[in-house]
Amino acid sequence: MVTLVISSWALTFLAGGLAWTWRREAHAATSLAERRLRHRRESEARLEALAAVDGLTGLSNHRSFHDRLAGETARAERHERNLSVAILDVDHFKQINDRFGHPAGDRVLTETAERLRGLVRNGEHLARVGGEEFALVLPDVDGVGAFAAAERIRRAIASTPYEGVGSVTLSAGVCDLATAGSAGELYRLADRALYWSKAHGRNLTFRYTPEVADELEHRSATSEVQRPDTIANLRALVALVADRHPSTQHHAERVAAIAHALALETGWDPERAHRLRDAALVHDVGKIALREEVLFKHGPLDQGDLAHIRTHPLIGARIAARALDPEQASWVRCHHERWDGTGYPAGLRGTTIPDGAQLLGLADAWDAMTSDRWYRAARDHEQALTEIARQAGLHFAPDAARRLVELAESGRLGRIAGAH
C-alpha cells in the first residue's frame, strides 16, 4: 500500500486554486447576467422611445405629447408660469390624397413636420397628434404670444409651395392655461379654436377665449348663422385682433357707433346707416394677418413696416366679403383712403372714395386720436377737434368733418362713443 502524504501547504494551494476557479466562473456568470439585464433594459428603453415617436414623421406622438403636456402643466402651476397649446391641421388634406395619391400625402406630412421643426423655438415641444394634425406645447407663453407663434408658423407654411403639390396651408387653434385651468381642458379648448378656424374658411388662427366662445356659440344657436361667414363670426376674428393689445379693445364698437351717427346726420336712410355700422364693426379684420412686432411697434415704422401695415384694408375686404355685400366691402377696403389722394391702398381722391369709407375713416381716426395707444397718450377732445378741422379737405371729406364737429359740440359724440 502506498501512503500519499500531502502537506498542509499543498492542500492550501489546491483549495486556493479551486476557489479562484469558482470565483472566476461565478464572476463570468454574474457578468453574463448583468449584460443580459443591461441588454434587456436597453432594448426596453429603445422600444419605449419608439413607442413615443410617430413612425412617419419622427416627431413625438399623441401619447408622448400628452405626457409632456401633463408635466409642463404641473410645472406651470407649481411656479405660477404661463403655458399655452397650439394645434395645427393641414387644410384639405383629403383632397391632397385624392388628387395626388397617398404617397404624396405622406410626403406633405413629412415635409410639414420638417418645416415645423425649423420653426419651433427652444423649449417648445412639437408632436404629430393625429393624421394631419400637429400640436405644440409652448411653456412660459401666454395666449397672445401663442396666437402670434401660430400665426408666424401658419404664414411660413403658406408662403412656400410643396413640390408636386403646390400651396399647402394650415389652420390653427390656440389656448392658454390661465383660460383652460387644466391640461385636458387646455387641449380641448385649443381644439375647439381649431374647429372655428376650419369653419371660417381655413388658413386662419383662432385663439380660444370665453368672450369669443360666447359670441360664436350663442350665434350658432340661431337660424341667422348656420353658415360660417356672418358678421358675428367676423367680429370674433376682430376680437382676436383687439385682444392682442388692451388699447384696441372696444375700438370697433366705438367706431361703428360714430360712423352710424355720422351717416344719420348726413341724411342716410336708417337701413343703409345700419349697413355701415355692420361694416365698421369688422373694418379692422384684416389686421389679423399682420405681424405682431409691426402692428404693435413702439418706435417709428420703416418703409417695410408701412407696406406691411397697408395690406390690411385689402385683406380685410376679402375676408369681410364672405359676410358683407360688395358696397360694404368697398367701405372696409377704402377706409384709409384720404380726400387729397395720399391714403391707401389705391390712392383714391375726393368723391371717388366711397361715401361710407369717408365716414368710416373719419370715425376710425377720431377714436384713434382720443384713445390711449401703446405708442402715445390720447389727445383731449379739443385737441382732436382742432386736428379734424385742420385736416378737413386734406385727409377728411369736408362735409363729414363738419358733421363730426357738430356732433362733438352738441355733446352727442361723447355720449355715443362713451356708450361703448
Give me the phi and psi of 163, to 5 degrees please.
-60, 130
Mean pLDDT, to the nearest integer, of 224-251? 59
Residue 29 confidence class, pLDDT cut points 50, 70, 90: low
* Residue 181 DSSP class: -
Residue 334 confidence class, pLDDT cut points 50, 70, 90: very high
Which is the catalytic residue, given 132, 133, 151, 265? 132
Give me the phi and psi of 190, to 5 degrees please.
-65, -40
- For the record, the C-alpha cell of 252 comes out as 370697433
Listed in sequence order, the residues at least 6 apart from 238 whose beta carbon sits closer than 8 Å to its beta carbon are 252, 281, 282, 284, 285, 288
Strands 83-90 and 125-128: unpaired
Q: What is the radius of gyration, based on Cα positions, of the chain? A: 33
Residue 407 or 237, more confident: 407
Whether residue 410 is predicted with pLDDT greater than 70 in this model: the reply is: yes
Mean pLDDT, to the nearest integer, of 210-235? 58
Sign of the C-alpha dihedral, residues 60, 63, 69, 75?
negative
Mean pLDDT value across the chain: 82
* pLDDT at residue 411 in the model: 83
* pLDDT at residue 237 in the model: 65
Most confident of 122-131, 218-227, 302-311, 410-419: 122-131
* pLDDT at residue 248 in the model: 59
Query: Active site includes 48?
Result: no
Per-residue pLDDT of 393-407, as tens digits, reads 999 999 999 999 998
Per-residue pLDDT of 38-58, as tens digits, reads 666 655 545 444 467 998 999
* pLDDT at residue 228 in the model: 43
Residue 227 confidence class, pLDDT cut points 50, 70, 90: very low
* pLDDT at residue 2 in the model: 46
Residue 182 or 293, more confident: 182
Q: Range with the lowest mean pLDDT among 59-63, 149-153, 285-289?
A: 285-289
* pLDDT at residue 376 in the model: 61
